[in-house]
Amino acid sequence: MIELLSEARCTGCNLCVRACPTNVFEAREGDIPVIARADDCQTCFMCELYCPADALYVSPFAERHIHADEQTLAQSQTLGTYARNMGWKGAKPHGADKDPTFRFRALQRGE
């Protein structure tokens, strides 16, 4: 279940909003999105996978919330783990030079 959206890491790209199949996030004009409907999360990890800034943490526990401490997750390099394990990116905060989601972001911009 989605547990954390890091305000410090989030770039406001709204890819999590677009990637989420259950509409868990709420986009906000001129601001970063928020987790608006956490209980709707199906633990698919799509938001975490598409996040270019490793600003999200999805717990593998789909049926219950757990406490997610951002500092602990950052220190243990847990943020971005799913994307790294899937080979999607180098998990570098605020963008990854090996991140193939540039195609998805280009579509969002209308390119």
- The number of CA neighbours under 13 Å toward the Cβ of 63 is 0
How many CB atoms sit inside 10 A of residue 62's CB?
A: 11
Look up residue 85 and give its two tokens. Answer: 């394990």
CB-based burial label for 97 (10 Å; 0-12, 13-18, 19+): exposed
Look at residue 93 and tell me whether its pLDDT is greater than 50. Answer: no
- Quote the CA–CA distance of 88 and 52 in Å, as a whole number: 10
Handedness of CA 32, 101, 84, 93 (dihedral sign): negative
Q: Which tens digits make up the pLDDT trace of 7-65? A: 999 999 999 999 999 999 999 999 999 999 999 999 999 999 999 899 999 998 878 88
Helices H, strands E: what count in the chain?
Answer: 5, 4
All structural domains of the chain, each given as residue ranges with its CATH number in brackets, are 2-98 (3.30.70.20)
Q: Is 37 exposed, middle or buried (0-12, 13-18, 19+ CB in 10 A)?
A: middle
